[in-house]
Structure 1
């Protein structure tokens, strides 16, 4: 374990986050904002602005944000109460050990793919701004730089957020004002969309669908919150700012330039400032892509192979693989696959919320073990009803054109799971003993080091138990 900690921290990858390792809501909100803002949000805003007038785009951003916020709050509350990441929570929120391993694998594949794509985008920007190296070399350097931040867990990512998020906001403000100062803002707000018209439903779908995958991994973040109220404040502030500040800037730029390609316009018009916008935005999104991917892999390996591996070690491997794939230029070919994989995420939210707040088949196990800071002694090996609901909800989201696809799949999964629960059909098949059962969480001081952690928030210290081969 000492050797593993020499290169990073495990960051409570398979255990509850203790009270002493929690952070103030503003620190987590800043990370939430950084996760949802960036180049992709700029592009989303431009897409809305190209097909909508300003106020229709405003309402699309509002409705989409509310949908994502509601889901994020409910799932985030589960995370802050139990102190566990999404893939581990899934064992006792309807999916069982088999289902949680599938969730961990899906999260890992999806996010490490987007990690590589974001690294490649940033590499192109760096090659144009700095030169010196070709883009493939920058892909590796940028990816390894993000990996170094993620290696030390939530604490180092928190410091990165305090640097990159304000810098990103300043750069976005600079590039947007530089471009818009030549236009009459009142005229832009009142102008018709320059491109083919999008409906409010289509716009809301784009907003909610683009952020809902991030909502599913909310517990990875909110397990470091201190209270339910903090989760609500952090979610509303982080998501609202991310959607409105960056999204509406993209809308106005699309109206001003009569083009949806505002990223290229911003970069070409303000040079290095626009390039830094791309890089800063990608850095803060990419650290969470890699972080949650690592948590998913750790859970998958423990669930399937019964081995506990250190999160930091997994992070190094994933960061290197993602960076090399980005340098090879092959990840763009898998963008459609990654998008399709993202359709599998919304039903997870419906099942988890239904199980934890309504059906409560395994909630008692979580609550009983929470008092001692441990995990439940056992988990269902698999839950057939949940896997059926998950598959059907995926089909609803993919093939039903009416309404909002991502929301359709969430609502279907929620209702179907509740109905099956009320009929007594939600049952576990097989029992798996948890490897960490009875082992209390440890106070990982390197994670707990935070300027906004009051001394009054303490719990009795319990010596850490040995938990695996490499920890």
Structure 2
């Protein structure tokens, strides 16, 4: 392979094509990236919030229920990504959304992920300033941290592996120190049996928090599982990642919240580990931010391809997206972006349901995907933006916004799945079109067959 082609693959990361077999990686590398997405400050914050408002039993129960529900979706989409070798935004093109729909999905996710990149970068920079005495300029520090993360993401999945191999051990060191100090002052039995130290939280609200925290991660699962070699790899990445990451970190966050009597994560970490722990946690936030930027770059590459028919390199899009997220964090506009991100959060669950039902239950495009996969290519044609998908997406978003009974995120997933399945059963004529095309092709071949028979 020529040197320039190798460099292009390293930075473009097959953003507009299938991941070939030669580029697939061992399961443990993908697993480390997945664990890195869970073993982070935001996951620890979720555990502390649950522990502050619930008993240990109910907090763990809500974590398990929320995790099982979303892991079912995450595994299904992740397995589709492994099977097809495609990232989420491109997979959605043949999983219910069509050309224009997949572009909108990509843009929606890309915008939200750049927003989260800016938020995480602001926290990263502020943490460094605090540790160094508060005398540094925020804009300068935020610019440096944002550009450093952007540089790491330029190397695609390999860049994620590098930062994960550094940040995950650092975070685990903090957790180990905090756990040791926590158990020095409290017995495990006392922490498990004690009442919630804060205002009570219902099981429904807690499950909604758990599912809301991971819904984006579940949908973008194909972004990393497309690099796995075998379907079983996806299973282990999903199961082990959840047990070690989500469940493990949540349980520790719950216990520490009980021990300290607070839901504010930084005071908890400082009380149990001191300034050293704060330092490691701050630097471990780099890992979740490179995941944000990596998936955002894949989403925007697909958007420009589908809408403007322009093949931007993923590395170029990464630089622009990273600079934009960095700029927003520097000027403080990102502080007002959280409300918009909350609104975007309403529209994500229907995407998961539509893709899952389309790919695994209705299997509307599996024939063309199977045929093109055998050749290592993408299907030549796709729908534009099916009306059933549009209606389902809108109804699901409205349910998430206005229906407050039960578990909101689960309501959206179930309603979206049912509406999409029923809508496609009633109004989808793709099978009829395929049969018609087959009949026309066969009819056009009959005269030739007859003439050959006459000649014989």
Q: What is the alpha-carbon distance in structure 1 between the residues aligned to residue 340 and residue 61 of structure 2?
A: 30
Bigger shift: residues 61-70 or 103-112: 61-70
Give 1:21's match in structure 2, choosing from 20, 23, 31.
23
Closer, same or farther: CA 3–267 of 1 in aligned 2, 3 Å:
farther
Q: What is the alpha-carbon distance in structure 2 between the residues aligned to residue 45 and residue 195 of structure 1?
A: 14
Give the structure 2 partner of residue 362 of structure 1: 365
Do the aligned residues in 2 keep the contact of 1:8 with 1:312 (CA within 8 Å)? no
How large is the Cα RMSD of the aligned pairs? Answer: 2.0
Q: What is the alpha-carbon distance in structure 2 between the residues aligned to residue 135 and residue 8 of structure 1?
A: 33
1:257-289 CA-to-partner distances (Å, cap 9, x unmatched) read 211113233135533322234324311111110
- Pairs within 5 Å for 1:142-291: 142-267=145-270, 270-291=273-294
Give 2:91's match in structure 1, choosing from 71, 86, 89.
89
Give the count of matched residue pairs. Answer: 429
Q: What is the alpha-carbon distance in structure 1 between the residues aligned to residue 252 and residue 81 of structure 2?
A: 32
- Pairs within 5 Å for 1:443-462: none
Q: What is the alpha-carbon distance in structure 2 between the residues aligned to residue 352 and residue 391 of structure 1?
A: 15
1:237 is displaced (CA, Å) by 0.6
Give 2:66's match in structure 1, choosing from 31, 53, 64.
64
SS in 2 for 1:379: coil
Do the aligned residues in 2 keep the contact of 1:47 with 1:260 (CA within 8 Å)? yes
Give 2:412's match in structure 1, choosing from 403, 409, 412.
409
In the alignment, does 2:411 pair up with 1:419? no
Give the structure 2 partner of residue 444 of structure 1: none
Do the aligned residues in 2 keep the contact of 1:126 with 1:275 (CA within 8 Å)? no
Unaligned 5+ residue runs, structure 2?
Answer: 434-456
Closer, same or farther: CA 360–45 of 1 in aligned 2, 3 Å:
same
In the alignment, does 2:319 pair up with 1:320? no
1:36 is displaced (CA, Å) by 2.0
Q: What is the alpha-carbon distance in structure 2 between the residues aligned to residue 381 and residue 282 of structure 1?
A: 38
More helix by share: 2
Unaligned 5+ residue runs, structure 1?
Answer: 431-471
Q: What is the alpha-carbon distance in structure 2 between the residues aligned to residue 400 and residue 239 of structure 1?
A: 28
1:414 is displaced (CA, Å) by 1.4
Give 1:43's match in structure 2, choosing from 32, 36, 45.
45
Output the TM-score relative to the length of structure 1.
0.87
Closer, same or farther: CA 427–334 of 1 in aligned 2, 3 Å:
farther
Q: What is the alpha-carbon distance in structure 2 between the residues aligned to residue 334 and residue 4 of structure 1?
A: 38
1:320 is displaced (CA, Å) by 1.1
Give the structure 2 partner of residue 298 of structure 1: 301
